[in-house]
Amino acid sequence: MEFSMEQLIGKASILIEALPYIQKFNGKTVVIKYGGNAMINEDLKNRVMEDITLLKYIGINPVVVHGGGPDISAALTRFGIQSEFINGLRVTDAQTMQVAQMVLIGKTNKEIVSLLGTKGGNGLGVSGIDGNLIQCRKCYTQVNGKDTDIGFVGEIVNINEKVLADLTQRGYIPVVAPIGVDENGNSYNINADTVAGAIAEALEAEKLMLLTDTEGIKESADSTEVFSVLSRKQIYTMIDEGKIVGGMIPKVEGAIRAIEAGVNSVHIVDGRIPHCLLLEIFTDHGIGTMITR
């Protein structure tokens, strides 16, 4: 394919637009929560892996935390186990926990590592069990003001960030499955958005990026306008007013905790857009919703 001089200059302009961002974020850590349709659509999978590999090659340190809800739901269906969600969290009995651990660690995690490898990325898969990376305890969720038992769902107590820092320094792209372990060696399923926020906090990341199946945060479900920037105060108000509900709640709660702990910014990005990570990080306009202090 031949390009005109004008088209070639246009390509150079794109690189120049990215230059100040490459300089600004060189050596910084970006935590990416990988989920939604970007984990299902084959073309989007490839585009995300290309983005992550490019980040590593230009001097940014990506850390990937993946979900796996669709894979877990499909496996549970095959085993004849029904799924139930409360406040966006999967109710996880012992049987469901076994399936979740099998799927997240044995299937989803390794598929991501393998796909990164096809792009030249040196991915290395770990779970929260490895090296006590994610230490947790049993989590309860509030329903009508009361603590509700949702099974083997974990609340993070500590992140052993040295595990990830060591992998990053050795040139790897850590790929983290959101399974934690308690002091007695019991495994717990943890919401991947929550894990990503805690890891971003522990690593003092420059950015936390949450890939979703929405354009960003809107005033209402019927609204076409996406908020480009929101403060944590505005987020709390929208939760109280019932404008942020369901699976978006753990996303924004994790985002706020990360912001309060020193992460510079959190981005809720539409993972259905090809090369969404590059568009958000390296262009003047960006996409999605950025949450700030």
d(Cα 273, Cα 265) in Å, to the nearest integer? Answer: 20
DSSP 273: S
Short-list 93, 102, 153, 96, CA closest to 127 = 102
Q: Is 150 helix (H, G, I), strand (E, B) or coil?
A: strand
Tell me if 68 is assigned to a ligand binding site: yes
230 within 8 A of 236, measured Cβ to Cβ: no
In angstroms, what CA-CA distances link 180 with 36, 73, 264? Answer: 21, 19, 26
Q: Binding site annotation covers 69?
A: yes
Residue 189 annotated as part of some ligand binding site: yes
Q: Is 185 annotated as a binding residue?
A: no
Using CB atoms within 10 Å of the CB of residue 260, give its burial: 0 to 12 exposed, 13 to 18 middle, 19+ buried: exposed
Binding site listing for substrate: 68-69, 90, 189
Binding site listing: 68-69, 90, 189
